[in-house]
Structure 1
Amino acid sequence: MSSAQQSFNAGQTQGQVQAKAENFVESTKETASAAADKANAAANTTGKTAEQNKDEAAGFLQQTGEQVKNMAQGAMDSVKQTLGMDKK
């Protein structure tokens, strides 16, 4: 094989390797971008879920507080009635 042919083949091989490397890099960038998009979407969903859970917890605590208050008032009224302190 002539020196010119060897140089041609080497150049052709180098070009093919470079093209494959560029394709690999582009594919990797696309995969990383897709992964980042999914992570961002997951973070947004998690934030919304956390906010919703916080609101539900606040509502539950409010409701529980009202129930405790009503039970205490009922107990106090019962004690007053038993001791004859009710104003009825």
Structure 2
Amino acid sequence: MTHNKQSFQAGQAAGRAEEKSNVIVEKVKDAAAGAGAGAQTTGQKISEAAGGAVNFVKEKTGMNK
């Protein structure tokens, strides 16, 4: 009977460990998705700023005509 109890407890511990690892994996996925969205926004802002700088230079040098 002791062996069955130990097996049961080991199964419970394994289940808890798996659940904790699933929670951690979800948190990592969420963090990665957030970082990706932030990087995309930053890239878009840089692209817009560069485009504005190009237009500014064209206007000042007369190349925009």
TM-score, length-scaled by structure 2:
0.89
RMSD across aligned C-alpha pairs, in angstroms?
1.2
The two structures have a TM-score, normalised by structure 1, of 0.67
1:35 aligns to 2:18 (yes or no): no
Residues 22-47 of structure 1 deviation map (CA, whole Å, 9 limit, x = unaligned): 01111110000000000000011111
Correspondence 1:5 to 2:9: no
Flag the structure with larger Rg. Answer: 1
Runs of 4+ that moved beyond 3 A: none
Give the paired residue count: 62
User: Unaligned stretches of 5+ in structure 2?
Assistant: none
Structure 1, unaligned runs of 5 or more? 63-88
* Percent of aligned pairs with the same amino acid: 26
Q: Flag the structure with more relative contact order, 1 or 2, with Cα contacts below 8 A and sequence separation at least 6.
A: 2
Pair 1:46-2:62 in alignment:
no
